[in-house]
């Protein structure tokens, strides 16, 4: 039966057939099934051991699953007519349901990402990926076959956990549609993160054997970090909600033990969540639909990168046009998560200064993640730049002049990506500046915000220019050098400044040359006599650094173009003679 199913699926997707046939062998299926059932049994028994006993009821002890009056934050145990403890089975079922969901969703995302990255790394190491590229299948078919086939055994383990999942959910009095909606969220998150894993597997081969561990470890670390950080105090109507949307843990049906121990059909973490003026968090279904929509928007851009990188490993992950669209859509989504109700629609308040600083600071942090991705996605490598410098000198009509060069830098596939990063930065800064402009805060707070955004935009251009310059080196490990230098420039200066100049107020000029510059400008008071001068000197310094890096890159590009042209002309003359 399994063989017939595999053959049926393989007729539509040969790559899926190849992956399933290599993995869904009887021994592998039996081992996976045994491990899944054993894990469920251990989880069930561990929660069974936490139930109150007859002794707890007789001694009137406390237990999370008892039903008496609360003592020391736990309910006391009551006995029924037979002396057994009365158990809150609804709460117990919800706890089992919750931990099963955490284990399954986190394991599905992290382990599946590891398998996909490791599979692509193995294919590249064995030189079989180029053979797959030569097949008549489309890139979408091949990559979808990878996504569905490589974690196939993981899917078997998850399917075997569904009966316990539904049983515990229904016993916790969670509506079946709520359970199905959460399952859809997990599927959508898997599609998003698996797409990202495929990209990382294609473009991160220079990391060697560390690549799958880094990708899956970073994802698992993010899921655990956000769960531990935001569980106790998850803010509403705040850009932090975007981090919560990317973690399925925060989108689980929630059992509120404080409200008559009845299940609340709104998600407490998102019950006040609004996107612009739309109250998304009023219903579990609308919140889940919104999260899945965000997942598929992100996956759309990842698949644009996948199709480009799969066809040609030397091409950039995104075209410059696609990067502008990504920046616009990303800022639209995260701006909707900001606190529009308090900052714009409600009356003015003294606390608005802090609210604006918090919202703009978080929005800039989210944009930092976007620009790190854009730098990796649209900055071309050495060979691409060499070809661009060589053929542009030969084929570029002189009468088009600077206009053609500008168009090429803005839209060209092989031209340096610094101007494109600058345009993306201008788009992000403009969106955040407009949000600050219409916020009901003082003009001083708005000026601080605009100064912070100016520093953020200039830093993005500097990081892009530095990365482009390093990627043009002749070193064989230039990708590793670019990543290492960029992370060092971002992380190390605040550490050193914190050791030797631990008060930014006393040394503002020094601190304004680090990644902390936007946050310092955002939260500083403009009453200091030397602060405007510090801003002026720092802006001049940022401009000087960016100009120096761009001039160095321009000089190297001209030299590479002239050398290539001379070599080509010399070869042509020798061939004629």
So what's the pLDDT on residue 43? Answer: 95
Most confident of 306-310, 451-455, 568-572: 451-455
Task: Tell me the H-state helices in 412-442.
Answer: 418-438
351 band by pLDDT with thresholds 50, 70 and 90: low
**Could you tell me which residue, 426 or 253, shows the higher pLDDT?**
426
Angle between helix 443-471 and 531-576 (nearest 10): 30
**Could you tell me which residue, 34 or 386, shows the higher pLDDT?**
34
Most confident of 281-285, 398-402, 452-456: 452-456
Q: Where are the domains of the chain?
A: 2-46+88-305, 315-576
pLDDT over 80 (residue 7): no
pLDDT over 80 (residue 270): no
So what's the pLDDT on residue 325? Answer: 96
Q: Looking only at Cα atoms, what is the longest distance across the chain?
A: 111
Mean pLDDT of 157-182: 92
Would you give the DSSP letter of residue 13? -
**Could you tell me which residue, 319 or 562, shows the higher pLDDT?**
319
**Could you tell me which residue, 572 or 85, shows the higher pLDDT?**
85
Burial category of 100 from C-beta neighbours within 10 Å (exposed 0-12, middle 13-18, buried 19 and up)? buried
So what's the pLDDT on residue 401? Answer: 46
- CA–CA distance, 298 with 569 (Å, rounded to integer): 47
- CA–CA distance, 495 with 510 (Å, rounded to integer): 13
Mean pLDDT of 374-383: 90
CB 156 within 8 A of CB 33: yes
So what's the pLDDT on residue 349? Answer: 53
* Best CA proximity match to 356, nearest among 342, 376, 345: 342
Most confident of 3-17, 56-70, 418-432, 501-515: 418-432
So what's the pLDDT on residue 239? Answer: 87
So what's the pLDDT on residue 497? Answer: 86
Q: Which residues of 213-227 are buried (b: 16+ CB within 10 A; e: fewer)?
A: eebbeebbebbeebb
Would you give the DSSP letter of residue 341? I
Q: Which long-range contacts (CB under 8 A, 24 or more apart) does 295-298 make?
A: 295/188, 295/189, 295/191, 295/192, 296/188, 296/191, 296/192, 297/329, 297/333, 298/192, 298/195
pLDDT over 60 (residue 403): no
Q: Which long-range contacts (CB under 8 A, 24 or more apart) does 562-566 make?
A: 562/393, 564/386, 564/389, 564/390, 564/393, 565/390, 565/393, 565/394
153 band by pLDDT with thresholds 50, 70 and 90: very high
Mean pLDDT of 66-72: 79
Percent of the chain scored above 70 by pLDDT? 88
Most confident of 9-23, 192-206, 231-245, 386-400: 192-206
So what's the pLDDT on residue 266? Answer: 46
pLDDT over 50 (residue 577): no
Mean pLDDT of 176-187: 92
So what's the pLDDT on residue 261? Answer: 43
Q: What backbone torsions phi and psi does residue 394 show, to the nearest 5 degrees? A: -85, -45
Residue 543: how many other CB atoms lie within 10 Å: 13
Mean pLDDT of 106-134: 88
So what's the pLDDT on residue 65? Answer: 86
C-alpha distances (whole Å) from 230 to each of 109, 224, 321, 507, 565 are: 20, 10, 36, 33, 58
- CA–CA distance, 247 with 267 (Å, rounded to integer): 14
What mean pLDDT, rounded, does the chain reach? 84
Task: Tell me the H-state helices in 126-175.
Answer: 129-133, 139-149, 152-171
Tens of pLDDT, residues 322-344: 999 999 999 999 999 888 888 88
SS (H, E, C) 342-392: HHHHCCCCCCHHHHHHHHHHHHHHHHHHHHHHHHHHHCCCHHHHHHHHHHH
3-state secondary structure of 88: coil
Mean pLDDT of 402-430: 88
Percent of the chain scored above 90 by pLDDT? 41
* Best CA proximity match to 244, nearest among 264, 271, 218, 276: 271
So what's the pLDDT on residue 399? Answer: 43
- CA–CA distance, 542 with 415 (Å, rounded to integer): 23
Residues contacting 14, CB < 8 A, separation 6+: 135, 137, 141, 145
Mean pLDDT of 231-235: 62
- Concatenating the DSSP letter of every residue in 463-481 gives HHHHHHHHHTSS-TTHHHH
Least confident of 13-17, 55-59, 64-68, 119-123: 55-59
Mean pLDDT of 367-374: 94
pLDDT over 60 (residue 400): no
């Amino acid at each position: 039966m399994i063989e017939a199913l595999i053959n049926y699926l393989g007729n539509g997707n040969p790559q899926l057939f190849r992956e399933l046939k290599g993995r869904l062998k009887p021994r592998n299926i039996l081992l996976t099934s045994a491990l899944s059932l054993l894990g469920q049994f251990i989880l069930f028994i561990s929660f069974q051991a936490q139930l109150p006993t007859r002794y707890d009821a007789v001694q009137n002890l406390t237990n999370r699953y008892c039903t008496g009056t609360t003592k020391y934050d736990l309910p006391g145990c009551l006995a029924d007519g037979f002396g057994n403890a009365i158990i809150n089975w609804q709460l117990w079922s919800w706890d089992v349901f919750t931990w099963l969901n955490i284990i399954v969703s986190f394991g599905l995302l992290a382990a599946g990402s590891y398998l996909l990255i490791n599979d692509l790394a193995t294919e590249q190491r064995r030189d079989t990926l180029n053979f797959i590229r030569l097949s008549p299948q489309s890139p979408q078919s091949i990559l979808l076959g990878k996504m569905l086939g490589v974690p196939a055994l993981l899917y078997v383990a998850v399917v075997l956990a569904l009966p316990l999942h539904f049983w515990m959910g229904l016993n916790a009095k969670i509506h079946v549609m709520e359970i199905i909606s959460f399952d859809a969220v997990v599927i959508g998150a898997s599609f998003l993160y698996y797409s990202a894993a495929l990209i990382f597997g294609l473009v991160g081969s220079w990391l060697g054997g560390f690549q799958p561990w880094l990708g899956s470890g970073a994802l698992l670390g993010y899921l655990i970090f956000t769960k531990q950080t935001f569980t106790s105090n998850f803010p509403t109507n705040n850009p932090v909600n975007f981090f919560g949307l990317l973690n399925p843990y925060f989108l689980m049906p929630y059992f509120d033990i404080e409200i008559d121990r009845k299940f609340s059909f709104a998600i407490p973490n998102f019950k006040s969540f609004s996107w612009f003026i739309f109250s998304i968090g009023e219903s579990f279904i609308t919140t889940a639909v919104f999260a899945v929509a965000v997942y598929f928007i992100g996956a759309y851009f990842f698949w644009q990168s996948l199709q480009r990188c799969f066809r040609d490993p030397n091409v950039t992950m995104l075209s410059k046009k696609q990067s502008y669209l990504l920046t616009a859509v990303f800022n639209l989504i995260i701006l909707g998560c900001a606190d529009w109700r308090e900052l714009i629609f409600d009356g003015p308040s003294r606390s608005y200064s802090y609210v604006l600083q918090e919202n703009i600071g978080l929005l800039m942090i989210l944009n930092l993640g976007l620009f790190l991705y854009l730098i990796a996605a649209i900055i071309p490598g050495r060979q691409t730049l060499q070809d661009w410098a060589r053929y542009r000198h030969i084929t570029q009509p002189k009468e088009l002049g600077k206009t053609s060069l500008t168009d090429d830098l803005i839209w060209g596939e092989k031209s340096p990506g610094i101007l494109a990063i600058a345009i993306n930065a201008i788009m992000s800064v403009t969106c955040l500046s407009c949000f600050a402009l219409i916020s009901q805060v003082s003009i001083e707070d708005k000026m601080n915000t605009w100064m912070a955004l100016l520093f953020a935009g200039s830093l993005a251009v500097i990081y892009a220019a530095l990365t482009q310059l390093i990627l043009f080196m002749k070193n064989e490990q230039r990708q590793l050098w670019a990543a290492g230098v960029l992370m060092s420039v971002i992380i190390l200066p605040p550490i050193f400044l914190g050791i030797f100049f631990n008060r930014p107020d006393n040394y503002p000029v020094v601190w304004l040359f680090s990644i902390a510059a936007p946050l310092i400008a955002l939260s500083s008071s403009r009453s200091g006599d030397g602060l405007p001068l510090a801003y002026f000197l720092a802006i001049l310094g940022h401009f000087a650094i960016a100009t120096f890096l761009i001039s160095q890159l321009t000089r190297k590009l001209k030299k590479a173009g002239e050398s290539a042209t001379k070599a080509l002309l010399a070869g042509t003359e020798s061939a004629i003679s």
